[in-house]
Amino acid sequence: MGSNIIYADEGSFEGRVLKSEQPVAVYFYSEDCPPCTAFTPIFDRMAEGYGDRMRFVKVFRQQNRRLAESLNVKNSPTLLFFKDGRESCTRLNGYISKSEFGGALENVLGGKCPPKLKSRVNCDVLILGGGPAGLSAAIYSARARLYTVVVDEGIPGGQVATTFHVANYPGTNGVIRGTDLVENMKRQALDFGAQIDDLKEILEVNLWGGEKLIRTEDTDYYAKSVIIATGAEPRKLPAEGEREFRGRGVHYCATCDGAMYQDMDVLVVGGGNSALEGALFLTRYARHVTILHQLDVFQAEKTIQEDVLKNQNISIIYDSIVKKVLGENFVTGVVIENVKTGEVREIKTGGLFIYIGMQPRTHLFKGVVGMNEYGYITGDGDMKTNIQGVFVAGDVREKSVRQIATAVSDGVIAGIMVEKYINRR
């Protein structure tokens, strides 16, 4: 860690933050927090580049709850920015990208960084995305002695890195932490010779022709082939107030933020495996959990449904959606509507945890790679897309089942087929 990163607590916060002559970025973090695990390297890396112009401070939220509450910090990670002793700029929380953080830093500083010199990388296989699909593809292509580079806009791991326990991945003796599973995959890819470039914001892609080009803020990648494994992300709640209360009562990860709701009533929105598993997890902390589902039946596996239905701390509201999130500084309730009767009513809640599906990360490829009506990339059984030399793998691909095991399967196939493609060339 750079020497310009310092730690603060309730006693030192005034001196190290409020009385600082430089602007300050304050990072509230927690243990066992997957978004924090993903964001900490971003914070450390940005501190290296901006450390001469700004102070970077970390605060361990779980040991400084009074300080966090006084600043209305309710979840981890949360980023605050201070200048001349006052909070400035927009707060950031949840899954914070490097581009979001960089933009906020520039807003606080009010200037632009000097342009960076760009480097060039020529490779055989460029894999976009470092989740299970991308890492599995990297293992196979690197083992085939192909120069393989994995580029990820965040930290490798994908959705699995935010999963507290994985209980259905073959060969893991029942249960394994998502971060441990991904770390094993990453280490294996590196051992076979793959190169992993993380925290790379992708600005432009050109996939046509024999040589593909992917531009990031500091590197231009030229590749003979590309595997798209950018994955998917949680679908945001389409309700008034969602954006304003995101991180202040609206959450998308129960394992990340559930501990803050000790002895409170919370609401889980959704009806699939993730929603019901999240509700069960929240019963460890919350006084009562209510599941709100827009249909009259769940889509989750039967065993999970059975666990929910027999849990006395969980109640269910069917056929309903959230129309509006209520509150002032923090969520106090929601307005819900029955989709069958049209009845609208308010219910009180301390927080919302949203599990209403995923959406593919395909904005960079629209109009270029073939997609279905939902934005998922279409590919055949060999993971080939409509563009020669471009393959797709994982949750970003159009398919019926999205699990870690199916993402790994896609990645293996893509890694083998890309080797065959390059050998034919």
Between these two residues, 155 and 57, which has the higher pLDDT value? 57
What's the mean pLDDT in 154-173? 76
Residue pair 254/233 in contact (Cβ under 8 Å)? The answer is: no
Whether residue 307 lies in the annotated active site: no
* Other beta carbons less than 10 A from residue 191's beta carbon: 11
Cα angle, residue 95 at apex, residues 295 and 223 outer, rounded to 5°: 105
Residue range 113-130, pLDDT digits in tens: 455 568 999 999 999 999
Whether residue 123 lies in the annotated active site: no
Q: Tokens 């009074």 label which residue?
A: 66
Q: Of 253, 307, 395, 410, which is the active-site residue?
A: 253
The pLDDT confidence band at residue 165, using thresholds 50, 70 and 90, is: low
Strand ranges (E), 219-357: 219-228, 232-234, 250-251, 265-269, 288-292, 314-317, 320-327, 331-338, 344-348, 351-354
Percent of all residues in the chain with a pLDDT value above 90, rounded to a whole number: 64
Strand ranges (E), 115-201: 119-128, 148-151, 195-197
The pLDDT confidence band at residue 75, using thresholds 50, 70 and 90, is: confident
Closest to 43 measured CA to CA, from 109, 101, 103: 101
**Dihedral through CA 130, CA 133, CA 136, CA 141, nearest 10?**
-80
Residue pair 36/61 in contact (Cβ under 8 Å)? The answer is: no
Residue pair 168/24 in contact (Cβ under 8 Å)? The answer is: no
Residue 6 has pLDDT above 80, yes or no: yes
What's the mean pLDDT in 235-259? 85
Say if domain 5-109 classifies as CATH 3.40.50.300: no
Among 81-95, 328-342, 353-367, 392-406, whose mean pLDDT is lowest? 81-95
The residue type of 86 is: R
Q: Where are the domains of the chain?
A: 5-109, 119-233+358-424, 250-354
Whether residue 256 lies in the annotated active site: yes
Among 104-118, 149-163, 176-190, 403-417, whose mean pLDDT is lowest? 104-118
Say if domain 119-233+358-424 classifies as CATH 3.40.50.300: no
pLDDT for 201 equals 84
Q: Of 256, 263, 296, 319, which is the active-site residue?
A: 256
Q: Of 257, 296, 382, 410, which is the active-site residue?
A: 257
Q: What topology is assigned to 250-354 in CATH?
A: FAD/NAD(P)-binding domain (3.50.50)
Residue 5 has pLDDT above 80, yes or no: yes
Residue range 195-246, pLDDT digits in tens: 999 888 899 999 999 999 999 988 999 999 999 999 988 889 999 999 888 8
Give the C-alpha distances (Å, rounded to integers) separating 130 from 136, 178, 240, 304, 394.
9, 14, 33, 29, 11
Domains 5-109 and 119-233+358-424 share a fold: no
Residue 1 has pLDDT above 50, yes or no: no
Residue range 60-71, pLDDT digits in tens: 988 898 898 888
